[in-house]
């Protein structure tokens, strides 16, 4: 169906005007999933078709709840959606049914979204390659022999394959950015605290990950971010930032862009990554933006030390009880066991040192933003790799000393909670996609989306180059 190619905002307008029905959209969505999901394996725990069509008929008969009214969506399989399993990609939780919606999922339902199932993710979201023992691997729609990235790999692949027009994601270490880049779509890590998580467990210490939207256009990205955003009184560090979607019409501001490249060699990149990134930046310059190379504003090794300490500390907090139980530990993948063991071994002094480095980087970043509006880095240091691999072990002869070292390029933004919009940057000679991270200062989500929208108007890459499935 032609409308499966549409932006979600356009689809919403057609539903509101009665030019399309929710039943028609649901039928087409289910048909597309049946046609291509077997090869891609992006949508998991799909609900019964008759039940979904009944919900679509009810949506057609009901007053509109919001702009998502009647639009099918799937939820990343780390979040709870009432009545659906939340496996987290782990056999320890396979088949466990959520008893209630997480905050962000409840907001999607309140805006009228019809939740059809889940999207695949790595085990516990660890690693930027979507495979797990419960649902298997998600394949890249642009090359089914390659990874779709992660941890929002199922979401990105479903978007690229036209199984969904919008997707729900989350990001700790590039989980919204790398899969968006590898699937020729948009992904946004909002300013930390914009989209509240679940009010469970510790509410103060582990400020690393955030929920966020994925889409095939910045306009959809902004609209979905606006549905999910907003402080929650149960989460003391959640924040109230303004909506962004209204700022994407008419003329858009020209911006000052600082290109960080490979961070002066600290982030080894596969051949072609830097060249394609710079070609995209040249296009931005031709659109009137001021683009200039920029010296690294902070020490990459110090950032890595801080990040890996705080990340392992956070993983140990979430998975420590499983790790401490010998009968359950064996069900954790090696990367998870390694993270927990590291996290449990740190002293209070180690954590304080990591936090001090983090604070120093934040101060340095704020100085950098005095001369530029946006910092730019590639979304990943390698191209989509063999779907049967676990992770890259080297880049250009540089050995990767951990399962996530090849994603070091996403750490500068993640470590201090900065907003990032991934934009599609183009393709290599093999037809493999790449993305760019547009990084802004805290609270600059709207400005980043305006730059992404300007880029999208000029290129329209997701629409111009769909995968051939």
| Secondary structure class of 200 (helix, strand, coil) | coil
Q: Nearest to residue 234, comparing CAs of 204, 190, 207?
A: 204
Active-site residue, from 87, 147, 152, 175: 175
pLDDT in tens, the chain (469 residues): 799 999 999 999 999 999 999 999 999 999 999 999 999 999 999 999 999 999 999 999 999 999 999 999 999 999 999 999 999 999 999 999 999 999 999 999 999 999 999 999 999 999 999 999 999 999 999 999 999 999 999 999 999 999 999 999 999 999 999 999 999 999 999 999 999 998 989 999 999 999 999 999 999 999 999 999 999 999 999 999 999 999 999 999 999 999 999 999 999 999 999 999 999 999 999 999 999 999 999 999 999 999 999 999 999 999 999 999 999 999 999 999 999 999 999 999 999 999 999 999 999 999 999 999 999 999 999 999 999 999 999 999 999 999 999 999 999 999 999 999 999 999 999 999 999 999 999 999 999 999 999 999 999 999 999 999 9
Torsion, Cα of 54, 58, 61, 62 (10° steps): -170
Residue 358 near residue 306 (C-beta atoms within 8 A): yes
Whole-model pTM over 0.85: yes
How large is the angle between the packed helices 153-160 and 22-40, nearest 10 degrees? 120
Torsion, Cα of 248, 254, 255, 257 (10° steps): 110
Active-site residue, from 12, 45, 76, 277: 76
Q: Nearest to residue 455, comparing CAs of 380, 384, 374, 365?
A: 374
Residue 238 is a catalytic residue: no
Residue 151 is a catalytic residue: yes
* 178 CB-near residues (< 8 Å, 6+ apart): 128, 149, 150, 379, 380, 407, 410, 435
Residue 165 near residue 158 (C-beta atoms within 8 A): no
- For the chain, list the domains and their CATH numbers: 2-464 (3.90.1300.10)
* 233 CB-near residues (< 8 Å, 6+ apart): none
Gyration radius of the chain over CA positions:
21
Active-site residue, from 87, 147, 151, 444: 151
Residue 147 is a catalytic residue: no
């Amino acid at each position: 169906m032609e409308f499966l190619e549409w932006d979600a905002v356009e689809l919403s307008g057609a539903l509101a005007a009665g030019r399309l029905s929710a039943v028609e959209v649901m039928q087409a969505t289910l048909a597309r999933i049946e046609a291509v999901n077997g090869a891609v394996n992006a949508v998991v725990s799909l609900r019964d078709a008759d039940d979904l069509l009944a919900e679509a008929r009810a949506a057609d008969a009901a007053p509109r709840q919001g702009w998502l009214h009647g639009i099918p969506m799937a939820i990343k399989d780390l979040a709870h959606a009432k009545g659906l399993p939340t496996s987290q990609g782990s056999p320890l939780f396979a088949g466990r049914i959520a008893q209630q919606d997480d905050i962000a999922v409840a907001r999607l339902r309140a805006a009228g979204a019809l939740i059809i199932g889940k999207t695949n993710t790595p085990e516990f979201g660890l690693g930027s390659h979507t495979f797990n023992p419960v649902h298997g691997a998600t394949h890249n729609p642009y090359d089914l022999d390659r990874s779709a990235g992660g941890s929002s790999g199922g979401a990105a692949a479903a978007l690229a394959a036209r199984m969904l027009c919008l997707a729900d994601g989350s990001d700790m270490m590039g989980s919204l950015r790398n899969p968006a880049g590898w699937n020729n779509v948009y992904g946004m890590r909002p300013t930390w605290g914009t989209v509240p998580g679940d009010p469970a467990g510790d509410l103060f210490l582990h400020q690393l990950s955030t929920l966020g939207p994925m889409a095939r256009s910045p306009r959809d990205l902004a609209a979905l971010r606006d549905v999910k955003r907003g402080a929650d009184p149960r989460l003391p560090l959640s924040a109230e930032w303004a909506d962004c979607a209204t700022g994407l019409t008419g003329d858009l501001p020209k911006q000052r862009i600082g290109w960080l490249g490979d961070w002066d060699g600290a982030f080894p990149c596969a051949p072609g990554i830097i060249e394609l990134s710079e070609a995209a930046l040249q296009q931005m310059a031709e659109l009137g933006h001021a683009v200039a190379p920029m010296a690294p504003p902070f020490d990459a090794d110090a950032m890595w030390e801080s990040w890996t300490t705080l990340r392992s500390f956070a993983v140990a907090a979430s998975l420590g009880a499983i790790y401490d139980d010998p009968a359950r530990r064996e069900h954790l993948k090696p990367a998870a066991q390694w993270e927990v063991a590291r996290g449990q071994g740190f002293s209070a002094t180690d954590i304080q040192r990591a936090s001090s480095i983090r604070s120093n980087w934040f101060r340095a970043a704020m100085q950098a933003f005095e001369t530029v509006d946006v910092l730019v880095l590639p979304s990943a240091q390698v191209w989509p790799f063999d779907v049967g691999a676990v992770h890259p072990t080297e880049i250009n002869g540089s050995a990767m000393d951990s399962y996530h070292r090849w994603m070091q390029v996403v750490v500068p933004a993640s470590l201090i909670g900065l907003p990032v919009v991934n934009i599609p940057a183009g393709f290599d000679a093999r037809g493999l996609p790449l993305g760019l991270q547009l990084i802004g200062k805290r609270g600059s989500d709207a400005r980043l989306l305006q730059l992404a929208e300007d880029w999208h108007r000029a290129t329209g890459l997701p629409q111009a180059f769909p995968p051939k499935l």
